[in-house]
Structure 1
Amino acid sequence: MYSQKVRVAVNGYGVIGKRIADAVVAQEDMELVGVVDISSDWRIKVAVQKGYPVFASDSEAADLMRIAGIPLAGTLDDLLKRVDVVADATPKKVASSNLEKYRAAGVKSIFQGGEKHSLTGHSFVAQANYETALGRDTTRVVSCNTTSIVRTLGALKSAGILKKARGVLVRRATDPWESDHSGVMNTVVPEKDIPSHQGPDAQTVIPDLDVITIAVKAAHTTSHLHSWSVQLTRSASRDEVLEAFRKAPRIAFLRMDEGMVALNSTLEMMSDLGRPRGDMWEVGLWEDNLTVQDDELFYNYQVYNQAIVVPETIDAIRALTGIEKDGMKSIARTDQALGLVHMFVENTKSL
């Protein structure tokens, strides 16, 4: 259908949107036509410095952005006339109100996990259900935590050894750039409902998952931590479980005996590796404390919420537009362009 590069717009140039924009630029089969925002602060000025065409969300925002000296290429309505697909990374409720505008413009759309499944009728994680998104007009990339659940439990399910899973999520208080005005301090807050929303959300991607999640919010901003207790379909060896995770995309191993002992040390390593913004797109799973006892499995992993959904969004662009019919080929292409790995450090030992 698309003989040339897919033309992409990113609506919302915040924590997720700016990362999606950079990821689109890194793909050989995509063109970033423009980014959209209402802001006139340093964030959108960085987009200007990068050479990204900037569009205002509406005429009112356009006036304020021009006063601030932002060179504008037009408004969102102008941009929608020039693109094939829009990745919407605007705040909750704002995003859902945009869907009809995209439909009226004949533009395919991708939303983020803050929106409800009912908005699009389809929720997306590339390794699990890429094929069901082919040719659709819209989909929703699930949240950071839900993405990690589908990646890891999906790996066990594909290996035929997953019976049921129970997970505890220790969530970060807020995004780092909002820590001056948002988030909890000096406390841990249990979420009111059990299961927390991440388990049911994972079932929108893999309906037959037997999963229950419990979540708490803690006073830190580095990233999320998951602790899982899994019942397997049978007794299995530790090596068999590790091999299931190795075969899955976008899971990378961490080792405490190499100094990766906590959330902060992992993110320090991302910076040392030269990752853009210190991002970790993979699920960072601790290999050396993964434990198997007969048919029970226990493990911990880290979720860097600012980046994990970015490669999924890139794959969703390919699925909706149909430029790549094979999900695993799209995953491989995305991961090579961005630099995803299975081992963060080349000499990492494997038990």
Structure 2
Amino acid sequence: MNKTRVAVNGYGVIGKRVADAVLLQPDMELIGVADIITDWRIRSAVGRFPLFASTAEARDAMGQAGLTISGDLDDLLAQADVVVDATPKHVAAGNLPRYRAAGVKVVLQGGESHDTTGHSFVAQANYDSALGRDMTRVVSCNTTSIVRVLGALQNVGLLAKARGVLIRRATDPWESHLGGIMNTMVPEPKIPSHQGPDARTVLPDLDVVTIAAKGAHTQTHNHYWTLQLTRAASREEVLAALRAAPRIAFIRMADGLVALNSTIELMKDLGRPRGDMWEVAVWEELVTVEGDEAYLTYQVYNEAIVVPETIDAIRALTGTAPDAVTSMTMTDSTLGMRQDFLAEHLPVLSGGQP
């Protein structure tokens, strides 16, 4: 098998997780990681894979810091089939000329606008339209969760419209010393917040409005949804639609998972790398249906949810997996994703792994 040669530019919160996920894929080879940093974040990668400097200035700084550098970003791109750009917001757009010159496929992250690539990606929703493209953009963590959950109900003809409230984490945990929000909550300055319109870049027919605020916590986002269904339905119908979709997992207050922090602790106890949760965690008891209205709440682990989507985007651009089910089944199996974190006997579904 000729493996897809993957480069990662940006070894931060998302980049390091994507790099680890690429290493697990039987059809991919991680040929190197590029960055501009010289501190513990990049030093933790020494010896695991080749390191490259994203800029000429960074190459000098990394060399002076005693890091062994295999070359610059152009050297890395010369070896790659695909580059995943996980650099900070808006930096990736400036890198596109270098990527085009190198003739590589490009996967960007949700910090960039839809217009940058002309295509936004969530594997279960629009894998086919990404096949063979030169570039795509994996949407943000919150938008990914919206497409997964609301798309599951839309796919079975149950969803008419959705209105959601998002309580976002204030900052990434490792940056909490730099500032943040304490003893307050900060509303986003406009309604709808950007996640609803962003979801429509993937699901154009989705009738969705989102309202968001930043809360005084650093781990995970929390969503609350009021859903207008297309008809009166039962709770079991809604639950069945969610269970049939990949990358959604149920959690239960009856198991003691009563708050955001308890779910994160569970991920650590399950042996997840970095305590990551790639799935959307829906509180099963709180899924409520009254006639043609449904209500639910779920948790989004912002540092990890887009990682499996990024892996699938690589396969879509290169055409190495012909459809979403083939790619997602491989990705979910290698990562060890589940559809129920605590059930003893876990069903295997198309595109999902127990």
TM-score (norm 2): 0.97
Question: Sequence identity, in percent?
Answer: 67
Q: Which amino acid aligns with 1:328?
A: V
Alignment of 1:181-220 (within 5 A): 181-220=178-217
SS of 2:66's equivalent? coil
The residue that corresponds to 2:238 in the other structure is 241
The residue that corresponds to 2:351 in the other structure is none
How many Å separate the matches in 1 of 2:339 and 2:101? Answer: 42
Gap regions ≥5 residues in structure 2: 347-354
How many Å separate the matches in 2 of 1:29 and 1:200? Answer: 34
The residue that corresponds to 1:40 in the other structure is 38
The residue that corresponds to 1:267 in the other structure is 264
How many Å separate the matches in 2 of 1:90 and 1:327? Answer: 26
How many Å separate the matches in 2 of 1:25 and 1:31? Answer: 7
Decide which of 16, 25, 33 is 1:18's aligned counterpart: 16
Larger mean Cα displacement after TM superposition, 95-104 or 272-281: 95-104
SS of 1:157's equivalent? helix
The residue that corresponds to 1:7 in the other structure is 5
| CA shift in 2, pair 1:61/1:192, >3 Å | same
Q: Which amino acid aligns with 2:281?
A: G
SS of 1:8's equivalent? strand
How many Å separate the matches in 2 of 1:205 and 1:89? Answer: 20
The residue that corresponds to 1:277 in the other structure is 274
Decide which of 334, 339, 344 is 1:337's aligned counterpart: 334
Say yes or no: does 1:229 pair with 2:226. yes
Quote the offset at 1:94 in angstroms.
Answer: 1.1
The residue that corresponds to 1:306 in the other structure is 303
Say yes or no: does 1:327 pair with 2:324. yes
Q: Which amino acid aligns with 1:40?
A: T
The residue that corresponds to 1:180 in the other structure is 177
Decide which of 77, 82, 91 is 1:80's aligned counterpart: 77
Q: Which amino acid aligns with 2:17?
A: R
Quote the offset at 1:182 in angstroms.
Answer: 3.2
Quote the offset at 1:22 in angstroms.
Answer: 0.1
The residue that corresponds to 2:27 in the other structure is 29
Say yes or no: does 1:62 pair with 2:62. no
Quote the offset at 1:183 in angstroms.
Answer: 2.1
SS of 1:180's equivalent? helix
How many Å separate the matches in 2 of 1:247 and 1:77? Answer: 43
Quote the offset at 1:348 in angstroms.
Answer: 8.9
The root-mean-square deviation of aligned C-alpha atoms, in Å, is 1.2
Q: Which amino acid aligns with 1:9?
A: A
Deviations 1:236-283 (A, max 9, x none): 111110000011010000000110000000000000000000000000
The residue that corresponds to 2:136 in the other structure is 139
How many Å separate the matches in 2 of 1:7 and 1:182? Answer: 38
Quote the offset at 1:4 in angstroms.
Answer: 0.2
Say yes or no: does 1:163 pair with 2:160. yes
Q: Which amino acid aligns with 1:346?
A: A
SS of 2:211's equivalent? strand
Quote the offset at 1:161 in angstroms.
Answer: 0.3
Quote the offset at 1:184 in angstroms.
Answer: 1.4
Q: Which amino acid aligns with 2:288?
A: T
TM-score (norm 1): 0.97
How many Å separate the matches in 2 of 1:213 and 1:83? Answer: 38
Quote the offset at 1:326 in angstroms.
Answer: 1.1
Q: Which amino acid aligns with 2:88?
A: P
SS of 2:167's equivalent? strand
SS of 1:169's equivalent? strand
SS of 1:48's equivalent? coil
Q: Which amino acid aligns with 2:282?
A: L
How many Å separate the matches in 2 of 1:348 and 1:324? Answer: 29
SS of 1:47's equivalent? coil
SS of 2:144's equivalent? helix
SS of 2:233's equivalent? coil
How many Å separate the matches in 2 of 1:243 and 1:272? Answer: 28
How many Å separate the matches in 2 of 1:219 and 1:312? Answer: 28
Say yes or no: does 1:92 pair with 2:89. yes
